[in-house]
Amino acid sequence: MNERYEAVWAMLAAQPRETLGFFPTPLTRLDRLSAQLGVNLYVKRDDFSGMSLFGGNKIRKLEYLLGDAVAKGCDTVFTYGATQSNHAMQTVTACRRLGLTPILYLNAYVQPDENDVRSNMLLDRILGAEMHIVESLPGETEAQTEARCFAMGREHAARLEAEGHRCYDVPMGGASPVGSCGFIGGYLEFVQQCDDLGIDPDFVYTATGTGGTLAGLTAGHRLLAKRARITAIAVSPKDAGYEARCAALGTQALRQLGSAETLEAADFAVDRGYFAPGYEQPNAAATEAIRLLARTEGLLVDPVYTGKAFAGLLDHVRTGKVPQGSTVVFWHTGGATALFAEKEILGDLSQED
């Protein structure tokens, strides 16, 4: 094995970790769409991460996050997200596997119907999670609603701690230095697969929300000194400081592993042009991308994350930002359960085109 690879695996092996997912996830070429677009298009199937069929790639983070929780003797785990959060549902699933009690504080971007509970909320209910749905107050921004969720979670955890429980807080999306270690490992897994296939990608595309996945992938990219350009498609509004925060998170993950490498905001390419009108709100480009991928390759992506990310990739190819003949990898972060969510999230997907 390459000495650099061995060194990174050794760093990762020193971290507390619980085995939850099914790795390595496949890396495969999309032959029909490659021919149509004029690029060599591959997909990294992190929608196959496990441990269930649903949710997506957050299990990579949760192996390290809940490994840390178990090592610290915790019995209860708090996390946060939207009502249809993939991360929240996967946290519940992983907690059940490890005998931990999951507690969710979820903000309602889309108001759920108690008479027709769908998608990840249905799975959360089947799994028996303790759920607290937090509605936005009049005039409150999304960030303010999220801040209230965090405050309510902290107060709840303090009450449980006073009763003798040990609680572990998993931030929204698992975006922490510990969680991002999972995607340093994911990037190492990926480059070894590329070596096995004899490919050297020019571009890697992924969706980005809270930034933990992107921070880990970019940190892995730095450690392994690969040339591929990582481009992230934002699935929600991002302010001008987003790249700097991702750099700080990735740097902290590197420190967690004992590396002295440092990331800067300039290491991150984030395209904000494809999320409108907002998070969990569909748009025509994502709908077209979902249908094209489904009808060309039989591969499903979702309207919240991967559909918008794939729309960005398609537009970059069609407009020449990705030159013809390039080798491109789409990192499929999962989340197709959103195809069974509320109609406000689906948009026109259920209609004939």
Task: Classify the phi-psi angles of 99: left when phi > 0, otherwise alpha if psi is within -120 to 50, otherwise beta.
Answer: left
Residues serving a catalytic function are 85
Q: What amino acid occupies position 246?
A: C
CB contact at 8 A, 63 and 18: yes
